[in-house]
Amino acid sequence: MEWGSESAAVRRHRVGGERRDGPGATPQPEREAPAQDSLADSCGGGARTRKRSGAGSALSEAPAALGLALYLLALRTLVQLSLQQLVLRGAPGHRGEFDAGQARDYLEHITAIGPRTTGSPENEILTVHYLLEQIKLIEVQSSSLHKISVDVQRPTGSFSIDFLGGFTSYYDNITNVVVKLEPRDGAQHAVLANCHFDSVANSPGASDDAVSCSVMLEVLRVLSTSSEALHHAVIFLFNGAEENVLQASHGFITQHPWASLIRAFINLEAAGVGGKELVFQTGPENPWLVQAYVSAAKHPFASVVAQEVFQSGIIPSDTDFRIYRDFGNIPGIDLAFIENGYIYHTKYDTADRILTDSIQRAGDNILAVLKYLATSDMLATSSKYRHGNMVFFDVFGLFVIAYPSRVGSIINYMVVMAVVLYLGKKFLQPKHKTANYTKDFFCGLGITLISWFTSLVTVLIIAVFISLIGQSLSWYNHFYVSVCLYGTAAVAKIIFIHTLAKRFYFVNASGQYLGEVFFDVSLFVHCGFLIALTYRGLCSAFISAVWVAFPLLTKLCVHKGFKQHGAQGKFIAFYLLGMFIPYLYALYLIWAVFEMFTPILGRSGSEIPPDVVLASILAGCTMILSSYFINFIYLAKSTKKTMLTLTLVCSVTFLLVCSGTFFPYSSNPASPKPKRVFLQSCSSQHVTRTFHDLDGNIVKRDSGIWINGFDYTGMSHITSHIPEINDTIRAHCEESAPLCGFPWYLPVHFLIRKNWYLPAADVSPRDPAHFRLVSKERTPWDSVKLTFEATGPSHMSFYVRTHKGSTLSQWSLGNGTPVTSKGGDYFVFYSHGLQASAWQFWIEVQVLEEQPEGMVTVAIAAHYLSGEDKRSSQLDALRDKFPDWTFPSAWVCTYDLFVF
């Protein structure tokens, strides 16, 4: 099975002195090989037949390069078209149909309340009142076939989680609004729909997650007015403390009496603003849930690839899915809006930025899936179907393909066997052919790996240099810059390495023969990926199967039809047609990767160079997309113009980036891409106390505005606008204090090590935090039990560091076993609703060896995220100085440290 005509390129006997370029061609006398042939012999082995210049089968460079570029551009256009919202809405208010207009009305009312942090009147009173009011109206309109029950839950509890390096969470009197829709005679089983109505500080939270609650209200309305009776109950949970790291869902699933009815759930979330809602987690196991989505969803958008990427921990985020899975042992489906993550958790997350079509498609899908589950016999006996995982992926939003992972493994290994048979035939040719082919194959494999390695190294060198000169994120507001800089460099380096190999190593080999070899090499590499992914049990191995099966079929078909015509127009056309599916789907996934990761790199902290990450991703995409086009390098007459063009584009872009032409951020109202800055006006009080002495003295006291930039550029772009924020006020770590002595809201200290501390006047909140040692006692097992009491605002952080010779053995939080954060300190995240009693808890310290500096250091930070205490005059004045392309999220906090 060969690429081109039946010639010496096919037979490739490296003996004698002639080759045939086609039927009836005149044998050419062998000329003396040039000196570099000795280099070629090491890879090719033996004497080589020389190519005649101007062989008819060689491709013209310019048309071939332009054709490939247009081919990829056309595929990218098809991907873009498939991602557009093309939803036809039914008549507003039509019974049984989801009405996006009504859902939008809910959304606008909720976001008009403003930011809704847990514990604020906006969250605990105004939003709850609005939800109950709308639920009451829906209940009045409901059909007599259904019964609606409403409960407002105020749970208190604690749990530990390994998110962000691990910490413990404690919540008190937070709010859940729970609605149960069930048949008039009741139900023994239920499916849960979950959203959250709280938001992060300083953001209206339209996409995260008010739109989901709006969709759920409208789904509740439609189901309750339906003339079709449900078999099972549908529980709608509007939870009021998800942004507090999943507290409200924990309170519901571990304490609410209706939780025992739930057999499956759907969680609605957001990692962006609008667009399509992606199914990015299912299970665990329970493949029937995927089948339910496949059968019911009207506008499917799902991928097991997203599931495995998310669950790998690469994305620094988590959802209520984890709580229901880990604490409720309930399977479910996790959906999230992923587009336009640039304005996620910012002031720009407003209702007007969410397309009505986006609301409609989400509502159509949620309504259909909930109705399917609520009438399914499988829900009642879901435990019987808990077996194995599913491979699932949508085909450009048209439909979903899903099958059990064990079936996927069988398919994958069948594809592998097909490759083994195909390559095995090559390696089992007569000995004189096999020796030459084997040497060229492994030489080609080595060259391909070298080209990929040098491509990666090249873009990493550029990325590191760009980072060192302070021009990171130049592509954040202009994504094409990353393609022109890193993409062109990666492609140029791959072409360059293969051109060198063609010129110096494969001097006398036919282009058609080399095209054959490098196709086989690419097939072999993708087959290796397929084996590795399948062996590890990853469902996303189906991608490699696609990238092996379709090219192999294409190769066989092209060979049969065009073995007499060489690499001419028809061959190219049919070859590209055969690659249509793998390349189209690859671009579809690549879009999702960049849609998710590009915005995340703008909020990934000060320690991760975003250019290095993006350059690596682009290099990887280039390797994949170029793999089955490498053979065209050997079929083409030349690659000089292509390399020159790519080098020119890369060089010009590089110079423009170095000169600062591309500013990373934008305040464009149509498409803002702001820089995120956290400002905390802090009054910090460090109190050191002698051992067993509760009357220690203050050893340090200062006040200032603590500034954190959430991306790699730090304050480099800010200093010119606000000169007082410069490197002279860089904050220094207090080595003896937990988490460096700063009032971290969450334990992200390992992600953000560059921060600034601008001196400012003391802050005096109207509701100051109080922290005291209630008791200190020695236990019968010779440990010291310290009981504390704290009162303060709705959000506080508690930190613990044990001293040398001491260990924290247990405490009254979580499951009783202390969980350390990264760095070895202990972090507790506390929040409460509108009102709460004093927070009393204890820790137990095992003292192995008494030290003069005490046994433990503790600190508490009080965060004022709402109300008048949130602001200070100096904080407001500084925030107003920030340019409009930033999003400064500001609040007041206090910090107190003690030693015991």
**Which residues are marked as active site?**
242
Please give the span between the terminal C-alpha atoms of the chain, in angstroms, as a whole number: 79
Residue 169 bridge partners (DSSP)? 159, 829
What separation in angstroms does the CA of 716 have from each of 292, 672, 727, 754, 756? 51, 20, 9, 12, 12
Name the 3-class secondary structure at 177: strand
In 10 A of CB 298, how many CB atoms? 14
User: What is the C-alpha separation between 580 and 72, in angstroms, rounded?
Assistant: 10
Q: E strand or H helix at 880, and its extent?
A: helix 873-881
| 365, 281 Cβ separation under 8 angstroms | no
**Which residue has tokens 């097909």?**
418
Task: Identify the sign of the CA torsion 523, 524, 525, 526.
Answer: positive
| 1, 504 Cβ separation under 8 angstroms | no
Helix ranges (H only) for 627-762 are 630-635, 640-658
3-state SS string for 249-264: HHHHHHHCHHHHHEEE
Residue 284's identity, in one-letter code, is P
| 871, 281 Cβ separation under 8 angstroms | no
Candidates 635, 536, 733, 864; CA nearest to 59 is: 635
Structure tokens at 283: 């299970």
> What is the radius of gyration, based on Cα positions, of the chain?
32
Task: Identify the sign of the CA torsion 491, 493, 495, 498.
Answer: negative
Rounded to an integer, what is the distance from CA 36 to the centroid of its chain? Answer: 49
DSSP class of 719: T
User: What is the C-alpha separation between 852 and 860, in angstroms, rounded?
Assistant: 23
The bridge status of strand 839-847 relative to strand 784-791 is antiparallel
User: What is the C-alpha separation between 553 and 18, in angstroms, rounded?
Assistant: 32
Q: Going by C-beta distance under 8 Å and a sequence separation of 6 or more, which residues neighbour residue 643?
A: 492, 495, 496, 499
User: What is the C-alpha separation between 654 and 656, in angstroms, rounded?
Assistant: 5
User: What is the C-alpha separation between 128 and 605, in angstroms, rounded?
Assistant: 34
Structure tokens at 49: 């037949």
DSSP class of 318: -
Q: E strand or H helix at 240, and its extent?
A: none
Candidates 502, 497, 527, 504; CA nearest to 514 is: 502
- CA torsion, ordered 757, 761, 765, 770, to nearest 10 deg: 70
Whether residue 115 is preceded by a cis peptide bond, meaning omega within 30 degrees of 0, is no
Residue 659's identity, in one-letter code, is S
Angle (deg, nearest 10), helices 431-468 and 488-500: 150
Burial 86-123 (b: 16+ CB within 10 A, else e): ebebeeeeeeebbbbebbbbbbebbbebbbbbbbbebb
What separation in angstroms does the CA of 177 have from each of 237, 255, 742, 867? 6, 14, 35, 23
Q: Going by C-beta distance under 8 Å and a sequence separation of 6 or more, which residues neighbour residue 747?
A: 164, 165, 166, 167, 739, 821, 822, 827
**Which residue has tokens 């599916």?**
581
Helix ranges (H only) for 336-390 are 356-374
